[in-house]
Structure 1
Amino acid sequence: MTKLLLAAVLGLGGVLAPQPVPAIQWEKCPPDPPYPAPGQGIECGTVKVPVDWSLPDGEQIEVFVSRSKARKQKLGTLVTNPGGPGNPGATPVMMAPEEFPDEILDSFDIIGFDPRGIGRSHGIQCDDALVSRAFTPPATQAAWDELVVHNRRLGESCRKRTGPLFDHLDTMSVARDVEAIRRALGAEKISFLGQSYGTLIGQQYAQLFPDKLDRLVLDGVVDHGLKTAAAHLLDGAKEAERAYREHLDPAQSRTVTLLFAKADKGTLKHGKTTVTPHMLTALLNEHLGADSMKEVIGNLATGKGEVPFEPPYVEIMHRATWCRDFSVATTFAQFGKAMAAARKAAPGIRYNAQSTDFVLGCQGWPAKVTNPPATPEVKGVNALIATHERDLATPKAWALRVAARIPGAGRVVLAATGHITYRRHAVTDAQKCVQREVSGFLITGEDSDTTCGI
């Protein structure tokens, strides 16, 4: 094939040029228990996409989509994703009046979708007995080897039960699905609101189709430039320690130090539960910045009252997608060295439990990294980056790095600890400030550098 002909049939990134996409046939949404039935103006449908985007005429799946039609004058089409990976993105739009501010409900057709492998979009199937197993950071080579074997067995069960889609769950494929949705909508351009993991979908859509984007909001930003397990662990630990030092007074910090000393000896108990150091770190990670933090620390110290322990667990789609997007495979020795660096960076809280869980979930996973880490500059996109000052799920440093790769991107910082800044139910003045900034950007396209809550 000549170079000229090859250029004619191939799209961006070596994927075959897009085929026509039939218009979405909108109809009444199916039941979505335990949520209430969608209200007036909300519809659902499907868009067919290839399992493998390099084979557009090959096996197809249906991506489930939902739409909340603009209540007043339509300014544009807003596609959203609430994150995960693993969250069914069609559901928030089916509940749009509870999820989006009035000014956005009035001005946009809002489109949600379940990404491939999730929910009603050919949801991934695995051996439930293997999925439900919890894990903690291995302390020995034998425990590490056992974790690797378990993850491999789990992944192979997913591949067997899910079929070919298992090997095409990377975020770049999801971004191409978003483009298929745009074409099926007949929209010349879309705006995109990505939150948490949804920000990676937005970034990769902007990479591939910058001329199809009107406005881009990234809220709680994932940095696809993280190239190693050590980088994930260190960034997470630094952010957790920042939150720890912000929210614990000296007396509480001394109490936590004593609790860790007991946990290290195996003598920290609450009721019938023996609290491990990992459980303590995870508990602190969960409650830093929350009103419950003081009570949780006090109850654990006295042995009285409730302490809401959550079992260590990684959502299956975290592994099925994350492990294709990030090169975090490592060895036990390298993991130990990286964890030592994390503990040095976070002497109070030790490390970030979510970062650790994500890294461990990918060890032994039987799928290649088909969407490797990258740091491309995205040009020609009108973008707004939103972040908390301290975010244990997606550190502020990630948001700043991504903003630097999008020339002219605006920034909104919520001066608090948390994850996801933009919500319908803004309570504090700082949250209302974020809502004004993000909604205003989506409606007018005008952004700025703003810190809310100082």
Structure 2
Amino acid sequence: MGIITRTLAALAVASTMAAAPPSSPQALTWKECGDGMDCAKLTVPIDWNRPDGPTTKVDLARLPARDPSRRLGSLVVNTGAGSTIQPVRTMPAVVSELTTWFDVILIDPRGLGDKDSPTSVECPIAGPGLTGLVLRQDEKSWRAHARARAAADASCREAMGAAYTGLTSWQVAHDIEALRAALGEDRLRYLGNSYGTVFGQAYMELFPAKVGRMVLDGVADHTQPSLERWLTHNALTEERQLRRFRDWCEAGCALGDDDAIEVFDDLLARARRAPLPAGKRTVNEREFLVAVQGSLAPPIWPKLAAALREAADGDASKLAALLPEPPPRSPGYPMGALLCHDFMPRVPAYRAFLAIESRLRAAAPRIGWVQGRFQIARCLGMGKDPAYPPHPLRAEGVPPVLIAIGDHDDNTPNLAAEHMAVQLPNARVIRHGDGHAAYLMQGVRALGDTCLRRHVHDYLTEGTLPPRQARCPGDLMARIPRG
């Protein structure tokens, strides 16, 4: 890991030092595009190190402020992995309340875009499933997964052409800066969720003087250069998530008076001895781990509790139903390549990973260690270029940023979010009892003026920060059915 860490650090310095010179703001042409949105395209260089070189386009959408007389300006939003525009069309409530004060500007990362948009690229070959390295743990399967992932990546490279070289958050942060200038805003107001927080971290580092108010919710930590430590944060958070599931169940779930971890341990031991009967099929040890690991997001807890109950009683059919479907044969998308270029431009070889995995098993022996294989599966077989690898955050002079961290977030591990937050001395952290994408999902559930949403809105509209050590309850958690 030492060689890998030093290599990533060197690449990081090279990437962050080469900031592109500013360019003249471009005029955006907005056109009505349905669902209360106006759409436009932002033309950007494929490589901001060559601002006069070939260009590509980025999809934008605008939800205008409801009352122009109360409008405070523009708020740029990215909701995370995948397109931002398409899910907002489906679930406008994730951001619609923000139009009380702002023109909400949605930006999609390169290679993604609105439905039927020519900027959205389909890669002819979809990547292999992320659970494959857990289900098949031998070296032969490792190599087969790498070949399948490499083929999918090659198909993306071919589909995108020269634009593929722009798939890093370093480039996307420059796109956001070009958008800020095009909107005529002196400073950027930004709300980033999940992967959108990676773009926010890059922007803070590259353009600290242009940061106005920034909310990062569900932080994907791009500041940890050690891959092993990053995987350990994932593993420890997942191990803790199992305990939180147990704590939730103690207040009432399908397991009754049984301790959820004791049931887990017993079923795992039974599956190691012989596959669990599940109707016309069985569930082996590795399938059991995949089914549980994939069900630790709080909204799935009622199904997980019911599945564990029936498995303990002799029928693992519901556990089998929690296993992911085989990966689709439909086209893939470039978001996976972007993630790998940002987080894992270099993946350890099989033997080196086994050494890492042994330490993950020691740190998180029940379920957390599975995260190592799950995360590595994203990028095994990918090419190493382009790359914007993780590195400590260098964002001097950035004004206070609001960071939301959820106790029940195992999608973007809360331990990793804490690691990023402490590198911003002026940041204000609001901890809450919900999981991933809490701000957005509270809007979808129409929960009204919750503690978390009130703090976010007060900050964005007035610059008012929550008190230090502020904490909000789990407003979504309280609505998870226990039956």
Q: Same fold per TM (> 0.5)?
A: yes
Q: CA deviation at 1:279?
A: 3.2
Q: CA deviation at 1:280?
A: 2.5
Name the counterpart of 1:309: 323
Task: Identify which of 381, 392, 407 aligns with 2:425.
Answer: 407
The 5-angstrom pairing of residues 47-446 of structure 1 reads 47-72=42-67, 73-84=70-81, 87-94=82-89, 97-100=92-95, 102=97, 104-119=98-113, 120=117, 122-128=119-125, 135-137=132-134, 138-248=136-246, 251-265=259-273, 267-288=275-296, 289=298, 290-301=301-312, 302-303=314-315, 306=318, 307-311=321-325, 316-327=333-344, 328-353=346-371, 356-368=373-385, 370-378=387-395, 379-416=397-434, 418-423=435-440, 424-425=443-444, 432-446=450-464
Alpha-carbon contact 1:237-1:351 (below 8 Å) kept: yes
Q: What is the CA deviation profile of residues 195-240 of structure 1, one whole-angstrom value per residue up to 9, with x for unaligned ones?
A: 1111010111111112222101010111112224422321111111
Distance 2:373 2:242 in 1: 17
Q: CA deviation at 1:312?
A: 7.0
68-77 vs 196-205, greater mean Cα deviation:
68-77
Q: CA deviation at 1:318?
A: 4.6
Report the AA paired with residue 27 of structure 2. Answer: A
SS of residue matched to 1:45: strand
Report the AA paired with residue 81 of structure 1. Answer: N
1:19 equivalenced with 2:23 (yes/no): yes
Alpha-carbon contact 1:193-1:218 (below 8 Å) kept: yes
Change (3 A) 1:131 1:257: closer
Name the counterpart of 1:34: none
Report the AA paired with residue 90 of structure 1. Answer: I
Unaligned 5+ runs, structure 1: 1-10, 30-36
SS of residue matched to 2:74: strand
Q: CA deviation at 1:58?
A: 1.9
Q: What is the CA deviation profile of residues 155-199 of structure 1, one whole-angstrom value per residue up to 9, with x for unaligned ones?
A: 122212221122220111111111111122222222110111110
Alpha-carbon contact 2:308-2:316 (below 8 Å) kept: no
Distance 1:344 1:77 in 2: 48
With the length of structure 2 as denominator, give the TM-score of the two structures: 0.81
Change (3 A) 1:95 1:146: closer
Q: What is the CA deviation profile of residues 85-131 of structure 1, one whole-angstrom value per residue up to 9, with x for unaligned ones?
A: xx2112355467522253x2210110002210113473343233655
1:453 equivalenced with 2:473 (yes/no): yes
Q: CA deviation at 1:287?
A: 2.9
Distance 1:272 1:318 in 2: 37
Distance 1:167 1:180 in 2: 18
Distance 2:221 2:358 in 1: 23
Alpha-carbon contact 2:131-2:377 (below 8 Å) kept: no
Q: CA deviation at 1:395?
A: 1.4
Change (3 A) 1:114 1:443: same
SS of residue matched to 1:422: helix
Distance 1:336 1:131 in 2: 20
Q: CA deviation at 1:433?
A: 1.0
Alpha-carbon contact 1:68-1:96 (below 8 Å) kept: no
Q: CA deviation at 1:336?
A: 1.4
Distance 1:212 1:17 in 2: 14
Distance 1:67 1:265 in 2: 57
- Please tell me the root mean square deviation across aligned C-alpha atoms, in Å: 2.7
SS of residue matched to 2:39: strand
Change (3 A) 1:61 1:219: same
Q: Which has the higher contact order (CA 8 A, sep 6+)?
A: 2
Q: What is the CA deviation profile of residues 418-452 of structure 1, one whole-angstrom value per residue up to 9, with x for unaligned ones?
A: 212213145679x8111111111111111123111
Report the AA paired with residue 321 of structure 1. Answer: L
Distance 1:320 1:105 in 2: 33
Distance 1:131 1:305 in 2: 25
Alpha-carbon contact 2:234-2:368 (below 8 Å) kept: no
Change (3 A) 1:312 1:261: farther
Distance 1:158 1:107 in 2: 39
Distance 1:91 1:210 in 2: 30
Change (3 A) 1:415 1:356: same
Name the counterpart of 2:8: none
Identity within the alignment, %:
28
Change (3 A) 1:313 1:335: farther
Unaligned 5+ runs, structure 2: 1-14, 251-257, 475-483
Q: How many residues align?
A: 429
Distance 1:319 1:425 in 2: 26
Distance 2:210 2:199 in 1: 14
Report the AA paired with residue 184 of structure 1. Answer: A
Alpha-carbon contact 2:133-2:142 (below 8 Å) kept: no
